[in-house]
A and B are shown apart, each in its own frame.
Chain A
Amino acid sequence: MLARAAADFYWMGRYLERTEHTARLLEYQLTRLVDTPADQLALGWRVVYTTLGHPVPQVPTDADEAEVFLIADAYTLAGTLVEDVTNPNSMISCWSRARENARQLRPWLPVRVWTCLNRGFMWIRDCDFARAWAEGPAELALEAIDRLHLLVGVVDAMMSRDDAWRFMELGRLVERLQHQAVLLDTWVRAGQPSDGPRLSWSDLLRVCRAYELYRRRRSIQVRRESAIGFLVRNPELPRSLRFAVHRIEQLLSGIDPRGARYPLAAPHRMAIRLAASVEMDPGDEDQAPGSELESFSVLLRDSRQLHDLIMATYVNYPVERGLPS
């Protein structure tokens, strides 16, 4: 696989995952517009924006003003995340970048995958945001999620399990790992005991599409430590940290040109280390509340290092190292 194409597949996976992550957070927040107290909504926007790496919007503290602000500006706050082309992390920007990556990958990409991605992009590009908002603020996010899931399905059905697919999956899961780590970190910080509004742990599970499984596996009563532990270590949950790192490790094992024999490639070693740390540290129910935060920070730092190692090993390696022996 061409190194540049591997990078394009990897980034395509990352951008698509980022778009979906934004859409899920938006859907959560916009669904709550109708019946959530203003101060809780304001906290929700802060969490959404922090999680997505945006400057946190200024929110009035006075109750009446907050009400006015939230109703009038929810549209603007959502618009920035959906259709603002100047925002590099908006849904349209990420979709557009994924499509640009895909354009360069046409020789490797099944036509149906391209068509599905392209149609999704054209849908969001041509979408009249004001009109979609009038039909129901959360509808647009839901539609975006559906289209992205359709794409995932087409990829699953059409693509061979070769390096092209592996790099795309790898991008999605590295992005997911980083996003989930930031989301958990942000939510835990916002959930620290205080007199002000707090976010519910069941909502965190809902954002991660884990609520139904949690109810079946554990209880309808959601406890803080249990929810965090579930999102960190549950092996069946696609958005748990454990699920992501184990899949990353498997994918890197498949990508390794030496067939995952000793000595393992640097990204593979890093993935194994990450898997061990997820297994051992964060969200352990015996830990004191708040002690997970340091673990999430370490995890985030290590996952960024993993990204750098993937690029250095498979894409930007020095020519001398790549010459056939």
Chain B
Amino acid sequence: MTVSAFLGNGFDDEPRACAAGSGAFADYDLEARFYDEVFQDDGTPRESCRKLVNSLSRASADELATLQEGVARRFVHEGITFTVLGATRMSEHIIPIDCVPRVLTAAEWDHIDRGLRQRLTAMNLFLRDIYHEGYSLRDGVIPHELVLGCPQYRVEMRGLKVPHDVYVAVCGTDVVRTNDGFAVLEDNLRVPSGVSYMLACRTAIKRAFPRLYRAQGVREIARYPEHLYTTLTSLGSWGRDPRVAVLTPGHYNSAYYEHAFLAGEMGAELVEGRDLVVHDAIVYVRTASGLKRIDVIYRRVDDDFLDPVTFRSDSLLGVPGLFNAYRTGNVVIANAPGTGVADDKAVYSYVPRIIRYFLDEEPILANVETHLCREPDGLAYTLDHLEDLVVKEVGGSGGYGMLVGPHSTAAERETYAARLRADPTNFISQPVLDLSRASCFVDGRLEPRHVDVRPFVLRGREDIHISPGGLCRVALRKGSLVVNSSQGGGCKDLWILRD
């Protein structure tokens, strides 16, 4: 049988032996404490996944393996990679991709969509407030010292008028599902990455399951770069086509592929700091035919390195004078400097209160229960329950520097406890979440693995756009709850159904 033959026409719904634990899903074990994205508790497929399960049931393990290899090969050939800088050399890796898509219904997505819009609206209002009047600090919505003492709080931004008060134009929020429903695990408000993998996954999986894709009625995400361009250029007013640049730290950066991809798709310049020059508070790019003005910078460089005159003086990645040009209003920078204060893991625990304060609404998406170690009760609780908690550094990311209690040894916990006592303000703890599981093709079998999703939210001058999809991250190691690619995680396509 050819690889394409098993795809069938994807339109029929003939009943098949495709319950969890049988046929192609013989190795698929359902556990009641984990919400399963594909099967119901009784082992039958969820309505939204019936066509997917039918298609997979027709495929042999060899055929699925061929599909999986084809997708991975395509990533290698097209250079859809991330870079790892070792001690002596740089190496390129592809992010592991699972060929089985995750499916969400229109109603489920609508809930997430509304929650994300609400959250980003509140965060932008919060950022404006803490850099201007500070009402939320005065009214005790969030402790004064937590905000002003946060390393990501930029005093240079105080009182500065940000175009249309859009501090966060591009946001990637990590959303998980447990048996209690959807919740936000963390907000990424500085330089969220992963959108190129979302689009690459979609292109690859569309090719792998062409008929099923069509039959399922999946919402499109391909126009994300266009929406990103519209969002960025909506933040200023020009009497001509504005010139947009994506500012990258360079090709040694792990997300360089994404920077190049987005610049290419938007028709923007891909620039490094050394390509830009500030003269009379105007930003220029060095072209082969002289200097040309830049109007919008989508920066993928952290605040610290943006401008050695204003921020870290040892930065080689930034542009001297860039912040001055920004302050003068001659260039738009997205996201604005100083947004990192709002995605600090300690500030995260106050987001529900921030939403209530600024919008007078109840949060649509819940937060994960969080204990702040800076508070005596939180520290005591964390130290007493280290074995059951996940402990993270407030400024950490990528799964580094965290302790996953249930998977740790006594020695590791002891070492971590010493770090906690030495600097409690630097840590938070959360319960180990029972992340939902979706079907994955691993080691030649269809098995459940834990997943989350990072949708990408764009906030322009007037509206919010959310691509119906996201980077669905998956913990490919059996039993693992860590979905970060640096910790053995991969990605899969996320299909949002039309209805």
Are B274's CB and A4's CB within 8 A? yes
Instruction: Indicate which residue in A2, A114, A257 contacts B270 across the interface (CB closer than 8 Å).
Output: A2
Are A322's CB and B291's CB within 8 A? yes
Are A2's CB and B268's CB within 8 A? no
Are B79's CB and A6's CB within 8 A? no
Are A322's CB and B290's CB within 8 A? yes
B99 contacts the other chain (CB 8 A) = no
Smallest Cβ-Cβ distance to B277: which chain A residue: A319
Are A167's CB and B288's CB within 8 A? yes
Given A4-B272, A4-B275, A323-B279: A119 and B77 interface contact (C-beta under 8 Å): yes
**Interface 1/0 per residue, A1-43 and B, CB below 8 Å:** 1111110000000000000000000000000000000000000
Instruction: Indicate which residue in B79, B268, B286 contacts A107 across the interface (CB closer than 8 Å).
Output: B268
B108-116, B164-172, B259-267: which one contacts chain A? Answer: B259-267
Are A1's CB and B263's CB within 8 A? no
A292 contacts the other chain (CB 8 A) = no
**A323 partner residues in chain B, CB cutoff 8 A:** 279, 284, 290-291
Bound-state CA distance A295–B60 (Å) is 69
Shortest A90–chain B CB gap in Å is 17
A103 contacts the other chain (CB 8 A) = yes
Bound-state CA distance A100–B256 (Å) is 12
Are A118's CB and B291's CB within 8 A? no
Query: Residues of B within 8 Å of A, CB-based: how many?
Result: 30
Are B279's CB and A319's CB within 8 A? yes
**Interface 1/0 per residue, B66-80 and A, CB below 8 Å:** 000000000011110
**Interface 1/0 per residue, A102-114 and B, CB below 8 Å:** 0110111001001
Q: Which of A61-113 contact B (CB under 8 A)?
A: 100, 103-104, 106-108, 111
Shortest B133–chain A CB gap in Å is 40
Bound-state CA distance A107–B275 (Å) is 15
Given A319-B277, A324-B293: A2 and B79 interface contact (C-beta under 8 Å): no
**Interface 1/0 per residue, B272-310 and A, CB below 8 Å:** 101101010000111111111100000000000000000
B251 contacts the other chain (CB 8 A) = yes
Instruction: Indicate which residue in A106, A108, A167 contacts B257 across the interface (CB closer than 8 Å).
Output: A106
Are A3's CB and B287's CB within 8 A? yes
Given A111-B78, A115-B77, A115-B78: A4 and B286 interface contact (C-beta under 8 Å): yes
Bound-state CA distance A94–B260 (Å) is 22
Instruction: Indicate which residue in B268, B274, B279, B289 contacts A1 across the interface (CB closer than 8 Å).
Output: B289
Are B290's CB and A2's CB within 8 A? no
B208 contacts the other chain (CB 8 A) = no
Bound-state CA distance A317–B274 (Å) is 13
Are B286's CB and A2's CB within 8 A? yes
**B263 partner residues in chain A, CB cutoff 8 A:** 107
Given A104-B251, A323-B290: A2 and B285 interface contact (C-beta under 8 Å): yes
B53 contacts the other chain (CB 8 A) = no
**B268 partner residues in chain A, CB cutoff 8 A:** 107
A255 contacts the other chain (CB 8 A) = yes
Given A4-B272, A107-B268, A115-B77: A163 and B288 interface contact (C-beta under 8 Å): yes
Scoring B271, B272, B286 by chain A CB atoms within 10 A of each residue's CB, the highest score goes to B286
Shortest B122–chain A CB gap in Å is 34
Shortest A199–chain B CB gap in Å is 41
B129 contacts the other chain (CB 8 A) = no
Bound-state CA distance A267–B353 (Å) is 64
Bound-state CA distance A321–B284 (Å) is 13
Bound-state CA distance A1–B267 (Å) is 12
**A56 partner residues in chain B, CB cutoff 8 A:** none
**B279 partner residues in chain A, CB cutoff 8 A:** 319, 323
Smallest Cβ-Cβ distance to A111: which chain B residue: B78
Bound-state CA distance A118–B264 (Å) is 18
A213 contacts the other chain (CB 8 A) = no
Q: Which of A196-216 contact B (CB under 8 A)?
A: none
Scoring B261, B275, B288 by chain A CB atoms within 10 A of each residue's CB, the highest score goes to B288
Residues of B within 8 A of A (CB): 76-79, 251, 256-257, 260-261, 263-264, 268-272, 274-275, 277, 279, 284-293
**Apart from A257-B289, A324-B290, A324-B293: 6 A-B pairs, beta carbons within 8 A:** A3-B275, A106-B261, A106-B270, A107-B261, A108-B264, A321-B290
3 nearest A-B pairs in the assembled complex, by CB-CB distance:
A107-B264, A257-B289, A106-B260
13 A-B pairs whose Cβ atoms sit less than 8 Å apart in the complex: A2-B286, A2-B287, A3-B286, A103-B79, A104-B270, A118-B77, A119-B77, A163-B288, A255-B288, A314-B289, A319-B277, A322-B286, A322-B290
